[in-house]
Amino acid sequence: MRSLVWLTVCALVAAVPAVGLGEKPLRVPPPIGGPVPGPGFPGQPGFAGDANYKAPKADGAVVELLDEGVDPLIPVLINDGGGEAGTAAREDRDVFAGVEAMRVTPMQKYRSHIPGWSFKIVEKPEKAGEFRYLRFAWKKFGGNGVVIQFHDPAKSWAFRYHAGTNIYGWQPSLQVNAKLPTEWEVVTRDLFKDYGAFTISGFALSPIDGTSALFDHMMLGRTVEDLDKASDAALGRGKPATALAGQERDAQWDALVGVDRVKAGPAVRAFLAGAPDHVAYIREKLGKLAVDKDLLARVQKLLKELDADDFDARDRATDELVKLGAGAFEAVKALADGAPNAEVGYRARLVMRRMNAVGAPVSNAGRLSRVVRVLERADTEPARAVLDKLAAGEYGFDIAPDARAALARLKKK
């Protein structure tokens, strides 16, 4: 095996904490002559990614700022044209509600003026576009703190909530939990009580440090009761009027484990609503799912070739893994998390970045993770038995970690 000597030169840019009402979420040294408004701000032309984004309608009691359909939003978050570090990607497996969340890496992803955003926070919301309460779910991997920030056209970034440590001392900011949300946690806040009247024109999702943070189920509501109704609907709470069975259940199962995320959302809610009643059905359906052993063997071969002595062989393996897409993603991710050397780690992360392009297909594990959530909701002995089989890799190595995590959560109940 070759002997490699790696020399990495890192350019570190000092970050100045945002402390005033007129600061960006993370200040960087302004260009000579002062900051210049970039495209995508009032009076300026838009960015290329804006054309595919449609702002959520705010004509009801609740508006969803971040929930399903995150792909069009990701290119919009351009960090105001600055160079702050951070990436955003759709998360298909570890979600709070529905079938999608957003995963953000440090420092953050944000935009002060998101096209179409003008949500008014008032004391007594009655008209379209008026709200008072905020609800969101988040989860943090490593580090010390996580922050969500909101922007007002006149008051700038003056509205923040953080959990853990506010390591940069950004102010104003309200701590909602002294501990990091290492599992999904829901935060509900009275925005008007916390900060008075203002208008939300943009937001910042700020993991700050650590590995990444997940954000989901972010909504504005006129009342807490309105938010509760929206949450109950999104999470499939409450018994359905008619039991899911027969051909309708078969169709919903196909949607549940299918690649169409729009169809998968209602299917997840339908199965969650009657989770204990579907365990036997799920066990039968899973038994008919065949693991593609040829694909598994090919993926394992390509993973080994990422560590080949020949540079061209490593390059070919990298390209082939990217072409395999969803079928190889989880194995590549596992390798990236435990790479035997720097070269393999670099190539595994490169493959993941190329696979994670906006619009990438949902992986097999992403689809089966929806089934895991239904079994976890059922929380019966038969459901745990099916989870045990999933955790043991009986239905593929890629979904096993999700099943093990679900079983661990159930043990804590």
The CATH number of residue 66's host domain is 2.60.120
Picking from 234, 254, 271, the residue at the C-terminal end of a domain is 234
By C-alpha distance, which of 261, 169, 184, 194 is closest to 217?
184
CA dihedral 280, 283, 289, 291 (to 10 degrees): 180
Question: Rounded to whole angstroms, how far apart are CA atoms 374 and 259?
Answer: 17
Give me the phi and psi of 95, to 5 degrees please.
Answer: -120, 160
Count CA within 13 A, CB hemisphere, residue 131. Answer: 27
Question: Rounded to whole angstroms, how far apart are CA atoms 286 and 289?
Answer: 5
- In this structure, the answer to whether residues 247 and 227 fall within a common structural domain is no
Q: Can you tell me which residue has the tokens 């990436």?
A: 87
Picking from 211, 234, 257, the residue at the C-terminal end of a domain is 234
- In this structure, the answer to whether residues 83 and 227 fall within a common structural domain is yes
Q: What is the pLDDT of residue 43?
A: 44
- Range 384-393 contact pairs with CB under 8 angstroms and sequence separation of 24 or more: 384/410, 386/279, 386/282, 386/283, 386/286, 389/286, 390/286
Instruction: Report yes or no: 82 and 24 within 8 Å, Cβ to Cβ.
Output: yes
- In this structure, the answer to whether residues 225 and 319 fall within a common structural domain is no
Picking from 217, 234, 251, the residue at the C-terminal end of a domain is 234
pTM: 0.79
Q: What is the pLDDT of residue 31?
A: 29
- In this structure, the answer to whether residues 280 and 411 fall within a common structural domain is yes
What is the DSSP code (8-state) at residue 367? H
- In this structure, the answer to whether residues 258 and 328 fall within a common structural domain is yes
Q: Can you tell me which residue has the tokens 């002997």?
A: 3
- In this structure, the answer to whether residues 269 and 203 fall within a common structural domain is no
- In this structure, the answer to whether residues 285 and 380 fall within a common structural domain is yes
Q: What is the pLDDT of residue 234?
A: 96
Q: How far is CA 185 from CA 173, 176, 191, 217, 403, in A?
A: 18, 11, 18, 11, 20
- In this structure, the answer to whether residues 186 and 263 fall within a common structural domain is no
Q: What is the pLDDT of residue 347?
A: 93
Q: What is the pLDDT of residue 220?
A: 98
Q: Is residue 301 part of a domain?
A: yes
- In this structure, the answer to whether residues 251 and 400 fall within a common structural domain is yes
- In this structure, the answer to whether residues 199 and 80 fall within a common structural domain is yes
Domain span at residue 142 reads 48-234
Say if residue 218 is preceded by a cis peptide, omega within 30 of 0. Answer: no
By C-alpha distance, which of 40, 52, 121 is closest to 358?
52
- In this structure, the answer to whether residues 172 and 321 fall within a common structural domain is no
Q: Is residue 12 part of a domain?
A: no
Domains of the chain: total: 2
Angle made by CA atoms 246, 250, 254, in degrees to the nearest 5: 170
Which stretches of the chain score pLDDT less than 70? 1-46, 290-292, 326-327, 356-360
Q: Which residues have CB under 8 Å from 169's CB, separation 6+?
A: 17, 19
Q: How far is CA 201 from CA 84, 118, 197, in A?
A: 20, 5, 13
- In this structure, the answer to whether residues 247 and 229 fall within a common structural domain is no
